[in-house]
A and B are shown apart, each in its own frame.
Chain A
Amino acid sequence: MQKIKEKIIEFILRATALITILTTIGIIWVLLSESLVFFKEVSIIDFLTDTQWTPLFANKHFGILPLISGTILTTIIAISVSLPIGLTIAIYLSEYAPKKLKKFIKPLLEILAAVPTVVYGFFALMVVTPFLQKLIPEMAGFNSLSAGIVMGIMIIPFISSLSEDALSAVPKSLREASYGMGATKLQTSFKVMIPAASSGIIVSVILAFSRAIGETMIVAIAAGQQPRLTLNPLVPVETITAYIVQVSLGDVQHDSLEYRTIFAAGITLFVFTFILNNISFWIRKKFREEYD
Chain B
Amino acid sequence: MTNGEKNRLKDSIFKYIGVFACSIGLILLAIFIGNIIYDGFNRIDWSFLTSLPSRKAEKAGILTAWSGSLWIVIFTFIIAVPIGISAGVYLEEYNRKNKLTRLLEINISNLAGVPSIIYGLLGLEIFVRLSNLGSSVLAGSFTLALLILPIIIVATREALKAVPSSIRAASFGLGATKWQTTWYQVLPAASGGILTGVILAISRAVGETAPLIVVGALAYVPFTPKGPMDEFTVLPIQIFNWVSRPQHEFAINAAAAIIILLAITFTMNGIAVYFRNKWQKKINW
> Which residues of chain A have a CB within 8 Å of any CB of chain B?
2, 5-6, 9-10, 12-14, 16-21, 23-24, 26-27, 30-31, 34, 84-86, 88-89, 91-93, 96-97, 105, 107-109, 111-112, 114-119, 121-123, 125-127, 153, 156-157, 184-187, 189, 207, 210-211, 213-217, 220-221, 241, 244-245, 248-249, 254, 262-263, 266, 269-270, 273-274, 276-278, 281
- Taking CB atoms, residues of chain B closer than 8 Å to A115 are 29, 207, 262, 265
Interface residue B187 (Cβ < 8 Å from any Cβ of A): no
Smallest CB gap from B93: residue in A: A13
Interface residue B282 (Cβ < 8 Å from any Cβ of A): no
B273 touches A23 (CB 8 A): no
**Complex formed: what's the CA distance from A91 to B35 in Å?**
31
Q: A20 CB to closest chain B CB, in angstroms? A: 5
A21 touches B117 (CB 8 A): no
A216 touches B117 (CB 8 A): yes
State which of B35, B111, B179 has its C-beta within 8 Å of the C-beta of A23: B111
**Provided the pairs A20-B150, A30-B126, A89-B18 are in contact, do residues A216 and B116 lie with their beta carbons within 8 angstroms?**
yes
Interface residue B139 (Cβ < 8 Å from any Cβ of A): no
A184 touches B7 (CB 8 A): yes
25 examples of A-B residue contacts, CB within 8 angstroms: A10-B90, A10-B178, A14-B90, A20-B104, A20-B107, A26-B126, A27-B122, A30-B126, A31-B118, A93-B22, A97-B18, A115-B207, A117-B207, A118-B243, A118-B258, A119-B36, A119-B258, A122-B36, A153-B29, A156-B25, A184-B7, A186-B14, A207-B113, A248-B120, A254-B129
- Taking CB atoms, residues of chain B closer than 8 Å to A34 are 125
A118 touches B83 (CB 8 A): no
Given A24-B110, A217-B240, A277-B109: 14 more A-B contacts, CB < 8 Å: A6-B177, A6-B178, A6-B179, A30-B121, A91-B18, A114-B269, A115-B29, A123-B35, A207-B113, A213-B115, A245-B117, A248-B120, A249-B213, A269-B118
**Complex formed: what's the CA distance from A198 to B108 in Å?**
25
**Complex formed: what's the CA distance from A157 to B29 in Å?**
13
**Provided the pairs A16-B86, A122-B255, A186-B7 are in contact, do residues A107 and B24 lie with their beta carbons within 8 angstroms?**
no
- Taking CB atoms, residues of chain B closer than 8 Å to A127 are 31-32, 35
